[in-house]
Amino acid sequence: MGGTILLLALRSIARHKLRSFLTILGIIIGVGAVVTMVTLGKATTAAVQSQISALGTNILQIRPGQGFGRGGGGPRPPDFKPADVTAIANQVAGVTAVAPQAQATATAIYEGANWSTTVNGTTDASFTVQPWPLVAGRRWTPAEEQAGKAVCIIGNTVRQNLFRGGQAVGRRFRIGPISCDIIGVLSTRGQAGFGGDQDDVVAMPIKAVQRRFTGNRDVRLMLVGVDQAYSTAAVQASIQDLLRERRNITPGKDDDFFIFDTKQISDTLTGTTTLLTRIVAAVAAISLVVGGIGIMNIMLVSVTERTREIGIRLAIGAVAREVLMQFLVEAVALSCLGGLIGLVIAQLVILIITPLMQVPFLFDPQINVIAFAISAIIGVVFGYFPARRAASLNPIDALRHE
């Protein structure tokens, strides 16, 4: 009996193809929108987490100021000194390494090509604190670092723009006021969630950058590696106390530096992205309710149109339960068909959008199953009333209907 009822329902849907399609359009849009928004939200979250992970785990970044700007519009806080780097490395428990950084912007020139990039002066400890493998060449030696030699390790963006993607190690190019020997090429990291292209960089020993570019020994940024066995919060508190003492900040005054943990940034961005995804998905889910109302409306019209057919079925022996099941199955079939089409459209849209957004394509079976199940439930909920109305018709009155 179940197969017969399903066959009758499908035949009824096939007789009115355009009307059936317009009926399930709300379900298609609702399912497609929900699956697309949730999947893209998860892909964005995964991309953010990947970019934060590229910065390294268990790392504290220390900068002058009260944020990424000056904070309060006052005079620029003083940079750190090399002695501050040494003090943190030697006096704070749980610190594995401290990498000072001094930065400048310069134009790199090789033969007929030129490219404006960031020159990042640092120490070999940077590769320990924030692992960044090389795809070619080597890191500078302790002797080269101590002497401040003009040796460079370039990012992939610089390599592509200066050397057209060709061999760079062993060549000499001009960066700002100096000529520099390329000893290595960094692996590709790509775009950061904040901070732009991570591969657009030229790394040099910090003493070379301080002498030739900044003209002082100031340190603008410190990267601090934290031992996995220690709490980053405890290490952060110890560094804060030490720097307040070294920078002569009296009790009651605000810090003129700030410390942030990359893990905290990851958790905050992930939480924000997840919340926004849920809000957008909830708004998109309204389309499912609208689609359910559309199914109820068209099923009520169908009951009215087929009143005489229902009367004939009841008159020749069909019971009310069979009539109810026929119309209920028809409503569920419409809703499930809309759900399937919506899932297919959603996957196609995701395949198109993810490369444009530069996020990974993630197929989420859970949200697809949930969306399809909800579409089926909507068919049951919104199809029951029209089906009940059809089953409760009086056979005599139904046969008289014109």
* pLDDT tens string 1-46: 556 666 766 676 677 777 777 778 888 888 888 888 888 888 887 7
Token code pair at residue 291: 């689609």
Coil, helix or strand at residue 88: helix
| pTM confidence score | 0.62
Integer Cα distance of 286 and 17 in angstroms: 25
Integer Cα distance of 291 and 28 in angstroms: 8
The answer to whether 329 and 337 are in contact (CB under 8 A) is no
Model confidence band, residue 166 (pLDDT cutoffs 50, 70, 90): confident
Model confidence band, residue 119 (pLDDT cutoffs 50, 70, 90): very high
* Phi, psi at 156, each rounded to 5°: -65, -35
Coil, helix or strand at residue 402: coil
* Sequence-ordered list of residues with C-beta below 8 angstroms from that of 351, at least 6 positions apart, any chain: 361
> Model confidence over 207-242: pLDDT tens digits?
999 999 988 888 989 999 888 888 888 999 999 999
Token code pair at residue 388: 């009940």
Model confidence band, residue 70 (pLDDT cutoffs 50, 70, 90): very low
Integer Cα distance of 118 and 169 in angstroms: 19
Coil, helix or strand at residue 170: coil
The span from the first CA to the last CA of the chain, in angstroms, equals 29
Integer Cα distance of 274 and 61 in angstroms: 25
> Model confidence over 242-256: pLDDT tens digits?
999 999 888 888 888
Cα–Cα distances in Å, from 133 out to 101, 104, 155, 317, 392? 18, 23, 11, 79, 74
> Model confidence over 264-323: pLDDT tens digits?
776 777 777 778 777 877 777 777 787 888 888 777 777 776 666 767 766 776 667 777
